Amino acid sequence: MKEIKLGDKVKDLVTGFIGIVVEKVECLNGCLRYGLIESEVKGKKNEYRTIEIDNQQAEKVDDGINKKTPIKKTKTGGRTVMGSILK
């Protein structure tokens, strides 16, 4: 299995949902989960669906936004609107 990093495009093997990894959570019990945001907007402008999936049901599709532009990390924390980097 390919290593999944923040910014990669990932497919949920259970639902078929494809999105960009915006969260990576490692729990004390060893569970690894990813938060995905839609890689393409379907419907209203600036409305994105998001889901969280377990590592076992995640399959890396490609490098996602990492192949376009490097992600600039900030110290502000919290969620941000990803629309500008998904295009």
Report whether pLDDT(25) > 70.
yes
Could you list the residue range(s) of the whole structural domain that residue 13 is in? Answer: 9-82
In a domain, 62, yes or no: yes
Using a pLDDT cut of 90, give the percent of the chain over it.
Answer: 51
In a domain, 1, yes or no: no
Instruction: Evaluate whether 7 touches 17 at the Cβ level (below 8 Å).
Output: no
Report whether pLDDT(74) > 80.
no
In a domain, 4, yes or no: no
**The predicted structure's pLDDT at residue 49:** 84
Angle at 18 between CA 8 and CA 85, to 5 degrees: 50
Number of domains in the chain: 1
**Number of neighbouring beta carbons within 10 Å of residue 64:** 22
